[in-house]
Structure 1
Amino acid sequence: MKRLTLPTLLLSSLSSFAQKAPSENFVQYAHPLVGTAKMGHTYPGATVPFGMVQLSPDTDTIPYELNGKYNPKVYEYCAGYQYADKTIVGFSHTHFSGTGHSDLGDFQVMPTTGPLQLNPGTADQPEKGFRSRFSHQNEVAEPAYYRVKLDDHNIVAELTASNRVGMHQYTFPQSDQAHIILDLAAGIYNYPDKNVWTFVRVENDSLITGYRQTNGWARTRVEYFAMAFSKPFASYGSRNYSKKQVYRGFWGRFDQAHNFPELAGEQLRLYFDFKTTANERIKVKMALSGVSMDGALRNLRAEIPGWDFEAVKRQGQAQWQEQLGKVVIESPKKVDKENFYTAMYHAALSPTTYMDVDGQYRGLDQNIHQAKGFTNYTTFSLWDTYRALHPLFNLLEPKRNADMVQSMLAHYDQSTLHMLPIWSHYANENWCMIGYHSVPVIVDAVLKGVVPADQAQRALDACVATAHQKRFDGIGYYEQLGYVPEDKSGSSVSKTLEYAFDDWCIAQLAKKLGKSDIEAEFSKRAQNWQNVYDQRIGFMRPRLADGSFRQRFDVLSTHDQGFIEGNAWNYSLYVPQDPATLIAKMGGEKKFVPHLDSLFTMDLPDKFFAETEDITRDGIIGNYVHGNEPAHHAAYLYNWTNQPYKTQARVRMILPKMYRPTPDGLGGNDDCGQMSAWYIFSSLGFYPVAPGSPDYALGSPAVHGATINLENGKTFRIKVKNQSDKNVYVKEARLNGQKLTRPFLAYADVVKGGELVFTMAGKP
């Protein structure tokens, strides 16, 4: 069999795309700077769809602790960049997009001129370090490309990337004192003693390799690199800023600070010296690997063998053009296209590739594995993304989501606990958030035919084993009592509700496979949500181990009330698997509809905002918290009443309030694409209220039309008649000419291809 080289494959892929490329340039509408202000927590740098490298500027380095206590300011820097900042401290190669916690920030590179300085300086006095002031007027951020002028050094920095390689292009002034600094001590969230060890090997005067081991959110993370320069450096050196005394042995006899070929320590910073002419460009390539330094070198040579920066940028933007073109929308307003394609961009930033070009990757067991027949992925923020992001992948790119499921099952195989990932990244499980939400991702993919049928039983076994994992907080009580008691485990109501939804998903898969015993067990567990519903007050409420409801209770408070990232108002609506029964328990439609109305219209007390750092007024409408996920489905619940028109009005109200094409245009953390996936679905006119269900709930399309280019070669066309900002109500919806009599749309009907026609009106 003839083996094609990667450049050949890239050219073949781009040529194939060019033959069917739509005429419109979608890349122009996607703005990476959206969400970089306030709490969006996105990064503006260069990456490709689901890329392993996220090469982006960091505007500050924030210590996790200040005077021995947690530093609340670190929350602002989850992605390393804040739009309000005036300085850049460097360009690092790994970032999360839109998370509420962070890690990463590996291998920070900074070009400088003038006398060498190896400390970063401060935001107030950048001239005392290597950081630099910058202006947004001299900043450009596009998919796969970033550019900024570093004012203090008179250097223009440009960034682009392939999947596993970041490429820098620095335009220097004339200088006899030009430097490129490699900071191996820096990182996003500088935990105390986060750096365990770093090693650097100077291979020659234009190539270095090494690795960094960290103990942060991921407690055992090892990342390898290979770094190449387009111009040989004249000299180099390093400093070790470790505060610990480490045994040096006989190495102490050498001057390791200058031109020494092997360097090791906990807190290393290196510098490489050059002499430059005016407007001379020095390029740097940094390849990553989770496997080895040799793996990083192979990635470097396979993906970017040459030095043509513009060609790499073009290839990256061609990948984005193809990715964004999976949905082609129609709208006379540029802002609609900017919002939509920015959401499409953010929805394709994670999960991220986590394997070398030869298929090797580091597993959860810290051993090296070979991915056979699938691409291995990492960065699974599942508490967020099971809701809409993975259902979006099932629709737009089922092959990729099938690989993500395979990655989760590989995680399960490598786990000594025999459990699926909760929140995992870089061969680590960090146990963040609650529930076992790999389950709805896997079940939804299997039931929709995305995962091969011969993998269904393996998937069910992994889901069942995970649901029986005793290390989940309160799960033993949940199985014994039918709920998690608050006096035994905090956030007990949220845990009960989320476990119950995951259990419902398992029951659906067991039913599909004819496993009646498993179906019966988990169908019963799925009803446990009813055990924390207090009929007397009409809200979910924490119960104690003795069976009583806790007396001290505030339905508006988010603090110590049995909930996580929400309050009783938001979580009392969290029964996506069975809204009809929830509505009946809450008194039927006559009581439920006014209750749901109140969620969007009430005024919250100031104490609500004072209690939590991750909810701002920007992300809230009434008491509906769009900036957090538990109520993302709430606007669609009117579809289970006789007033579905209120879903249509609510959705069209939320869209412009929570999404704008500006740096502060996200009403909360993007959460690895979940916020963006909500926008994509909702603006098209439907939403997956319950992953694992065969149906979408209809809303109100905000576009004037759309064509979904399905992976199976078919298209699903959405036409919208009488569309306007005032005509938010759906007068009629027809699927392939047949009038829909219920406000629901089957996934199977979409992937078959066809046409959905909405006729809009200004009144219900």
Structure 2
Amino acid sequence: MSYKALTLSITSLFAGCLLQAQNNNLTQYVNPLIGTAKMGHTYPGATVPFGAVQLSPDTDTIPYAGPDGKYTGTAYRYCAGYQYDDPTIVGFSHTHFSGTGHSDLGDFLIMPTTGQLQLNPGTADKPETGYRSRFSHSNEIAEPNYYKVKLDDHNILAEMTTTTRVGVHQYTFPKSDDAHIILDLMHGIYNYDDKNTWTFVRIENDTLITGYKQTHGWAKTRTVYFAMTFSKPVQSYGYAQFKKQVYQGFWRRFNVTRNFPEMIGQNLRAYFNFKTEQDEKIKIKFALSPVSTTNALENLRTETPSWDFAAIKVKGQQQWNQELNKIQVEALNKEDMTNFYTAMYHTFLGPTVYSDMNGQYKGLDQNIHTANNFTNYTTFSLWDTYRTLHPFFNLVQPQRNSHMIQSMLAHQQQSAHKMLPVWSHYANENWCMSGYHAVPVVADAIVKGIKGFDYNKALEACITTANVKYYDGLDDYIRLGYIPDDKRGNSVSTTLEYAFDDWSIAMAAKKLGRNDVYEAFIKRSQNWKNVYDAAIGYMRPKLSNGSFKKEFDILSTHGQGFIEGNAWNFSLFVPHDPKGMIDAMGGDKKFLPHLDSLFSMHLPDEFFAHTEDITREGIIGNYVHGNEPSHHVAYLYNFTSQPWKTQERVRMILKKQYKAAIDGLGGNDDCGQMSAWYIFTALGFYPFAPGSETYQLGSPAIKKAVIHLENGNTLTVDTRNQSDKNVYVSKVTFNGIPVKGTAIDHSKLIAGGELVFYMSSKPTK
């Protein structure tokens, strides 16, 4: 055998071994602790892909309002319940958002303790005054669907894993005559005053407890049912009620706080007492339901028929491996492997399942519905996720995304406003952020041919949503072509967002041959021009009389007509008409230096004065990667004479904003949006304008990726001469044919084949 042949044989053998190893265990590259420090707002606990249960430690909660009744900015730290730098754990609750900038949830906190029973959480500086415990990261392990930590103050080893609807706890106790399991029913992330409106707990027998909890928080009316079972009979039990007077039973005939089989009240903390031997394990299975305790019990018995903790953990990790193996990557180094698969992990945390084993769920109308032929989902952070997360699902999770769209269509039918969701969770619409961004999610799926829902029904839902005139300035937008700043805050950014959403409706209508709808909405999509001030070259607030606002600062983020950004950032937000925008700004000659300066300019301190979620760690010049309106911006160079700068910029952003570290995310992950940006960009193509079939090409950061598509086809992304220095692309081929221009269509990629990037250290100008 020749030297060359021997080398090829060894290389092929190594690649084969690597691929086989990845097939067996891609979870080894996932670190759930990434993003748990600073602003990432991720949680490290156990969950399965898209699971209804997110069983995770909470290190603290800060009241939503301080003594003066005003919002406390420090509460923003605990959107996911966990901050890596905190020294104590309060307990383990069953529901969490991942990466959001607001929160709720934190339902049904469980904490094992020993010694004197204490029913208050204590404080971080004096944990001995309550049931919380100190812990060390040296005794902490976080893996997909597994979390483990030593609770030092109680000498208890805590482990947890999950199924879709059941959280499974395993606590290893010391020898004790005073062992307790505390069930905190008033705990919540972002504790509004009197957030808990009612709680009911029923002791069915000495191992089974059922009940529900009603809250009034970010979601105005939310009810979660549970069924909880112990592996060992409870010796005694009771509860204490805080803030409100304890209900004493009819004519005070009973002491309802001890060994009484019903617990009823507003702010309850229950306890269950045991005696334990040294290293004895007490296990708990805790099932959730949006509908009833009967359904919760059915979920529990169906999904976790046994007490085999290890088997449940392994099964969940196998689910993760199955999802992660949809894309098999060979990267330049282990850090990039960790970044890539942790990003995939974060993209598959939500939206979350919101229906029981029998298909039932609570709808937006607060009635019980049954999801027929689809799984119902909740947690739609659409202002964030329409941009990249849902397009990512259209590539690797099309059937699941179809179910999510069916969930949105059900939401629209149950809505009194007949609107698709804006930001919804747990049968509630939060009306958070701006635009109507379920529309581009639906349109993108229609344009890309995602099957499983009625296209025409979905288009009609989009049209109806876009014409609810009393929603957030839509009446003025339809009448004037913009939102007057003297009538609405965020007038400019909302106008720009509506214009994009309207364009996506036009694209779906065009696909379906609805020319009347296309013409109406393509005209509306040009409304971005109505807030562009050619005299200064920026988007600018306009008043009801048609004049531009005089007092105006292009860098300020406060009171200037923009949400989570400034005029500088949002003036580039015309992803549906980038060439029109560039021409309006003076063409390449003026636009290119303007765009270049975005990444190099210095922001004054005033820029940070009125916002909490824009941090210096997430900013490159005036490019704010931690805020989603900037996510398409680096790809704007593709529409100029210097597309090589897109390649340079995206590789720089990948390096600066994503690290395999606890604080490795340059901003909130926002329900997977930041992570989806990483994945697409690392693969070398990006959904610049959802609602279009076209991806913009960039500069892949991987050596090779094999994408296993649901249709049975395989898409391979390969790079030649890849390195950290070779960030420029000299040529791209698809199935051996050169790709002309800077774009490639979704239909080509899902037909399968090989997309090859030829990398270079010098730009091709």
Pair in the same fold by TM > 0.5? yes
What is the aligned partner in structure 2 of residue 60 from structure 1?
A: 60
Residue 530 of structure 1 pairs with residue 524 of structure 2: no
1:250 CA displacement? 1.2
**Alpha-carbon deviation of 1:332?**
4.0
Residue aligned with 1:671, SS: coil
Corresponding residue for 2:759? 760
Match in the other structure for 2:7: none
Task: Specify the code of the residue in structure 2 equivalent to 1:119.
Answer: N
Give the corresponding residue for 2:616: 617
* Contact 2:234 2:274 (8 Å CA) reproduced: yes
1:424 and 2:427 are equivalent in the alignment: no
| CA distance, structure 2, for counterparts of residue 470 and residue 226 of structure 1 | 43
Does residue 330 of structure 1 match 2:335?
no
User: Hey, what does 1:160 align to over in structure 2?
Assistant: 161
- C-alpha distance in structure 1 between counterparts of 2:251 and 2:156, whole Å: 37
Matched residue, 2:339: 339
Alignment correspondent of 1:4? none
| Percent identity over paired residues | 67
Instruction: Indicate the residue corresponding to 1:358 in structure 2.
Output: 358
3-state SS of paired residue (1:543) = coil
Q: Distance in 2 between matches of 1:510 and 1:760?
A: 39
Q: Deviations over 1:274-328 (max 9, x none)?
A: 1111111100010000000000000000000110000000001000001111101
- The residue number in structure 2 matching 1:9 is none
Alignment partner of 1:395 is 2:395: yes
- Compared CA separation, residues 251 and 39, structure 1 to 2 (3 A): farther
User: 1:21 touches 1:322 (CA, 8 Å); kept in 2?
Assistant: no
**Counterpart position of 2:116:** 115
Contact 2:38 2:83 in 1 (8 A): yes
Paired residue secondary structure (2:428): coil
What CA deviation, in whole Å up to 9, does each residue of 1:15-60 have, x standing for no partner? xxxx999545210101100000001000000000000000000001
Contact 1:39 1:667 in 2 (8 A): yes
- What secondary structure does 1:306 align onto? coil
One-letter code aligned to 1:468: N
Cα deviation 1:124-175 (Å, max 9, x = unaligned):
1000000000001100000000000000000000010000000000000111
Q: What is the distance in 2 between the residues matched to 1:721 and 1:738?
A: 15
SS of aligned partner of 1:65: coil
| Structure 1 residues 383 and 190: alpha-carbon distance in aligned structure 2, compared to 1, 3 A threshold | same
Q: Which amino acid aligns with 1:56?
A: S
Q: Which amino acid aligns with 2:505?
A: I
Query: SS of the counterpart of 2:213?
Result: strand
Give the Cα separation in 1 of the matches to 2:645 and 2:292.
Answer: 55
Instruction: For 2:516, give the aligned amino acid.
Output: D
CA distance in 2, matches of 1:135, 1:589: 55
- Tell me by how many angstroms 1:757 deviates: 0.6
Say whether residues 1:539 and 2:541 are aligned partners: no
Is 1:686 the counterpart of 2:667? The answer is no
**Conserved 8 A contact 2:248-2:254:** no
Q: Secondary structure at the match of 1:110?
A: strand
How far is the alpha carbon of 1:662 from its aligned partner? 1.0
User: Partner letter of residue 360 of structure 1?
Assistant: Q
| C-alpha distance in structure 2 between counterparts of 1:640 and 1:730, whole Å | 16
Q: Give the letter aligned to residue 441 of structure 2.
A: V
Give the Cα–Cα distance (whole angstroms) in 1 for the partners of residues 724 and 569 of structure 2. Answer: 28
User: Match of 2:547?
Assistant: 548
Alignment of 1:292-331 (within 5 A): 292-331=292-331
2-side partners of 1:600 and 1:22: how far apart? 37
* Paired positions, count: 744
Inter-partner Cα distance in structure 1 for 2:392 and 2:109: 33
Where does residue 78 of structure 1 map in the other structure? 79
Q: Residue 248 of structure 2 contacts residue 255 of structure 2 at CA under 8 Å; is this kept in 1?
A: no
Do the aligned partners of residues 21 and 410 (structure 1) sit closer, same or farther apart at CA in structure 2, a change above 3 Å counting? Answer: farther
Residue 69 of structure 1: aligned partner: 70
Distance 1:127 1:481 in 2: 62
Structure 1: distance between partners of 2:430 and 2:575: 26
Find the aligned partners of 1:639 and 1:680 in 2 and give their Cα distance: 19
Question: What residue is the counterpart of 2:209 in the other structure?
Answer: 208
Find the aligned partners of 1:483 and 1:246 in 2 and give their Cα distance.
54
Distance 2:468 2:109 in 1: 39
Amino acid at match of 1:552: E
Q: Counterpart in 2 of 1:16?
A: none
**Cα distance in 1 between the residues matched to 2:200 and 2:401:** 35
Instruction: Confirm or deny: 8 A CA contact 2:600 2:620 kept in the other structure.
Output: yes
Matches within 5 A, 1:675-754: 675-754=674-753
Report the Cα distance in structure 2 between the residues aligned to 1:249 and 1:637, rounded to whole angstroms.
67
Question: Alpha-carbon deviation of 1:252?
Answer: 2.7
Whether the 8 Å CA contact 1:233–1:273 is kept in 2: the answer is: yes
CA distance in 2, matches of 1:510, 1:722: 43
CA distance in 2: counterparts of 1:416 and 1:191, whole angstroms: 26
User: Paired residue for 1:177?
Assistant: 178
Provide, for residues 610-665 of structure 1, a one-character-per-residue CA deviation record: whole Å limited to 9, x for no partner.
Answer: 22111101100000000010010000000001100000000000001100111100
**Cα distance between partner residues in 2 of 1:519 and 1:355:** 35
Report whether the alignment pairs 1:233 with 2:234.
Answer: yes
In 2, the alpha carbon distance for the partners of 1:707 and 1:663 equals 28
What do the CA deviations read for 1:216-241 (whole angstroms, capped 9, x no partner)? 00001000000000011111111111
Contact 2:247 2:264 in 1 (8 A): no
Aligned to 2:290: 290
Q: How far is the alpha carbon of 1:542 from its aligned partner?
A: 0.4
One-letter amino acid of the structure 1 residue matched with residue 157 of structure 2: V
Deviation at 1:253, TM superposition (A): 2.2
- Please give the alpha-carbon distance, in whole angstroms, between the structure 2 residues aligned to 1:222 and 1:445: 32
Q: Which moved more, 1:605-614 or 1:127-136?
A: 605-614
Letter in 2 for 1:600: F
Partner of residue 271, structure 1: 271
Alpha-carbon displacement from aligned partner over 1:676-735 (angstroms, at most 9, x marks no partner): 000000000010010011100000000011001101111100110000111000010001
How do residues 444-463 of structure 1 correspond to structure 2 at under 5 angstroms? 444-452=444-452, 455-463=454-462
CA shift, 1:251, in A, is 5.8
- Partner Cα separation in structure 2 for residue 187 and residue 252 of structure 1: 31
Q: 1:605 aligns to what?
A: 604
Pair 1:488–1:332, CA change in 2 (3 A) = closer
TM-score by length of 1: 0.96
- Give 3-state SS (helix, strand or coil) of 1:228's partner: strand
2:103 corresponds to which residue? 102
Distance 2:118 2:193 in 1: 23
Per-residue CA distance 1:559-578 (angstroms, 9 max, x = gap): 00100001111100000001
Q: Which amino acid aligns with 1:336?
A: D
Amino acid at match of 2:85: A
TM-score (norm 2): 0.96
Q: CA deviation at 1:273?
A: 0.5
Counterpart of 2:653 in structure 1 is: 654
Equivalent residue number for residue 10 of structure 1 = none
Q: Is the 8 A contact 1:478 1:496 kept in 2?
A: yes
Aligned partner letter, 1:693? S
Distance 2:185 2:214 in 1: 10
Deviation by residue 1:459-485 (Cα, 9 ceiling, x = unmatched): 011000000112321111111110001
Q: CA deviation at 1:62?
A: 1.4
Letter in 2 for 1:160: T
Counterpart CA distance in 2 for 1:76 and 1:291 is 31
Instruction: After superposition, give the CA deviation of every residue in 1:518-554 in whole Å (9 maximum; x if it has no partner).
Output: 1111111100000000001110000000000001111
Task: State the SS of the aligned residue for 1:697.
Answer: strand
Instruction: Quote the Cα distance in structure 2 between the aligned partners of 1:416 and 1:276.
Output: 53
- Cα distance in structure 2, aligned partners of 1:154 and 1:641: 62
Aligned mates of 1:523, 1:743 — CA distance in 2: 24
Q: Secondary structure at 2:147's aligned position in 1?
A: strand
Match of 2:630 in 1: 631
Q: Distance in 2 between matches of 1:674 and 1:445?
A: 17
CA distance in 1, matches of 2:288, 2:21: 31
Distance 2:251 2:38 in 1: 47
Aligned with 2:628: secondary structure? coil
Give yes or no for contact 2:158–2:170 (8 Å, CA) kept in 1: yes
- Cα distance in 2 for partners of 1:401, 1:466 equals 20
Cα deviation, 1:728-763, whole Å, max 9, x if unaligned, reads 000100011111120111101110000011000001
- Which residue does 2:486 correspond to in 1? 487
CA–CA separation in structure 2 for the residues paired with 1:396 and 1:20: 20
